């Protein structure tokens, strides 16, 4: 297992991402043939030649994908050692009260219990950061017999969570608070704070609050890195060279390992038809530029490609001609989707690289403020791709 210091790993990840920007920044969805297709023609052709079985294999197996791509771009062979993270060892053996999972979706409950089994009882009061109905906090309060304060912005979730805590007679209190704008020092000082899948600005604000309040310990599982108020990511460590837009941050969460086959089928259909309309737009407008299309309602997928494009053309104010050959354009749509699904595999090699870079940016910043930081995978990626746990104590 790779045990290099976090600051060393961050420096190497930063250098790799900067040097390879021309490989992972261009989006085949927006540009039919990125420049790297000409620089690596053999890779370009190998990707386009993949059959559906091979495509599915590489899309689901990041390790195999990197090995395949590295045979054409040797520089990427260093990726596995840079993104390797240890799995946590099970620390909690106490049997869980079966009543505590009432009303919780099965996959969510598995994530909660996996996290619980991966962390130690801090022996002090706990704050659950942006905890919704307090599912995780309820489990920790019951199992560890520690008081829990759950911070949540939505009043309906606060009320529902408080009712559940009262039902189970737990020392779990709820506070309705906007953690991005309201003071939370009282709820954080001398507490162990835990956050499961805090999105974007929410986990970044927690990192800053950890420093400001000199929090004794914490456990954070970040999520949805692209969500936030700013259009560009602000690094915690100013000596980093990589600059990221919100759109580029999406690559770190560009996965569908938890989606059902029906959902994936609908996603692929939506992608193909958008690509088809994109080609119609370029043909009729005389422009080769990418035209940004906002999300469409899923009901538009029910009535066929022609109806889909007609509705979209009305919304986008693109007059259609009377002699549109819809079979021709739909065939072109699926050919573009065929190419996009394969060419974007190169970008997929970098999704975990980018995520680990973001994680290390936070870890190194915390270490620079006297925290001892450990980073682990608290569950398998098949349960949730956002499976990286940042733990620390001062």
Q: 155, 186 in Cβ contact below 8 A? A: no
Residue 256's pLDDT band (cuts 50, 70, 90): low
Report the candidate in 350, 364, 329, 51 with the shortest Cα–Cα distance to residue 236: 364
Whose tokens are 């040097």? That residue is: 19
Span 189-244, pLDDT tens digits:
999 999 999 999 999 999 999 999 999 999 999 999 999 999 999 999 999 999 99
Q: In what order do the strands lie in the sheet with 126-128?
A: 172-176, 148-152, 126-128, 192-199, 217-223, 388-393, 372-377
Predicted local confidence at residue 259, as pLDDT: 57
The CA distances from residue 47 to 34, 44, 124, 241, in Å, are 13, 5, 53, 30
Q: State phi, psi for 141 to the nearest 5 degrees.
A: -60, -40
Mean pLDDT score of the chain: 94
1 — pLDDT class (breaks 50, 70, 90): low
Report the alpha-carbon angle 375-183-126, nearest 5: 45
The DSSP element (H or E) to which 375 belongs, if any, is strand 372-377
Class of domain 98-254+351-393: alpha beta
For residue range 147-160, what is the model confidence (pLDDT) as tens digits? 999 999 999 999 99
Rounded to a whole number of angstroms, the CA Rg of the chain reads 24
Q: 151 or 94: which carries more pLDDT confidence? A: 151
Sign, Cα dihedral of 32, 34, 35, 36: negative
pLDDT digits (tens, 9 = 90+) for 98-120: 888 888 988 999 999 999 999 99
Q: Where are the domains of the chain?
A: 98-254+351-393
Residue-level pLDDT at 101: 87
Structure token digits, residue 327: 């079979």
Query: Taking a C-beta distance cutoff of 8 angstroms, is the pair 390, 365 a contact?
Result: no
Instruction: Determine how β-strand 192-199 pairs with β-strand 217-223.
Output: parallel
Find the Cα–Cα–Cα–Cα dihedral 122, 128, 133, 136, rounded to 10°: -30
Q: Which of 263, 354, 255, 270 is nearest to 308 (CA)?
A: 270
The structure's pTM equals 0.94
What would the pLDDT profile of 167-192 be if each residue is shown by its tens digit? 999 999 999 999 999 999 999 999 99
2-46 pLDDT per residue, tens: 678 999 999 999 999 999 999 999 999 999 999 999 999 999 999
């Amino acid at each position: 297992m790779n045990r290099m210091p976090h600051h060393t790993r961050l420096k190497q990840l930063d250098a790799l991402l900067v040097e390879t920007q021309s490989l992972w920044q261009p989006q085949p969805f927006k540009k039919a043939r990125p420049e790297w297709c000409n620089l690596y023609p053999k890779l370009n052709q190998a990707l386009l030649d993949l059959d559906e079985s091979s495509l599915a294999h590489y899309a689901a197996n990041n390790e195999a994908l990197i090995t395949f791509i590295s045979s054409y771009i040797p520089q990427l062979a260093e990726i596995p050692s840079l993104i390797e993270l240890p799995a946590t060892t099970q620390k909690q053996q106490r049997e869980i009260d079966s009543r505590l999972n009432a009303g919780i979706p099965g996959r969510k409950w598995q994530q909660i219990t996996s996290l619980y089994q991966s962390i130690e009882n801090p022996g002090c009061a706990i704050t659950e950061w942006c905890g919704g109905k307090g599912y995780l906090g309820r489990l920790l309060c019951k199992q560890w017999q520690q008081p829990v304060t759950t911070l949540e912005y939505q009043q309906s979730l606060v009320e529902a969570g408080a009712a559940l805590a009262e039902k189970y007679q737990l020392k779990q209190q709820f506070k309705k608070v906007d953690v991005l704008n309201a003071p939370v020092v009282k709820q954080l000082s001398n507490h162990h704070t835990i956050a499961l899948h805090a999105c974007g600005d929410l986990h970044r604000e927690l990192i800053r609050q950890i420093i400001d309040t000199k929090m004794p310990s914490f456990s954070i599982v970040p999520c949805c890195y692209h969500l936030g108020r700013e259009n560009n990511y602000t690094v915690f460590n100013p000596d980093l060279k990589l600059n990221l837009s919100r759109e580029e941050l999406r690559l770190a969460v560009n996965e569908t390992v938890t989606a059902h086959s029906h959902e994936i089928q609908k996603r692929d259909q939506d992608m193909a038809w958008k690509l088809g309309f994109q080609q119609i737009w370029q043909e009729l407008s005389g422009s080769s530029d990418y035209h940004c299309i906002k999300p469409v309602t899923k009901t538009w997928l029910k009535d066929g490609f022609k109806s889909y494009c007609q509705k979209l053309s009305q919304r986008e104010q693109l007059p259609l001609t009377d002699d549109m050959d819809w079979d021709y354009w739909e065939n072109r749509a699926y050919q573009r989707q065929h190419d996009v699904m394969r060419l974007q595999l190169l970008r997929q090699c970098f999704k975990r690289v980018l995520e680990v870079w973001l994680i290390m940016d936070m870890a190194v910043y915390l270490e620079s403020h006297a925290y001892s930081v450990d980073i682990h995978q608290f569950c398998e990626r098949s349960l949730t791709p956002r499976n990286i746990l940042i733990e620390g104590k001062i």
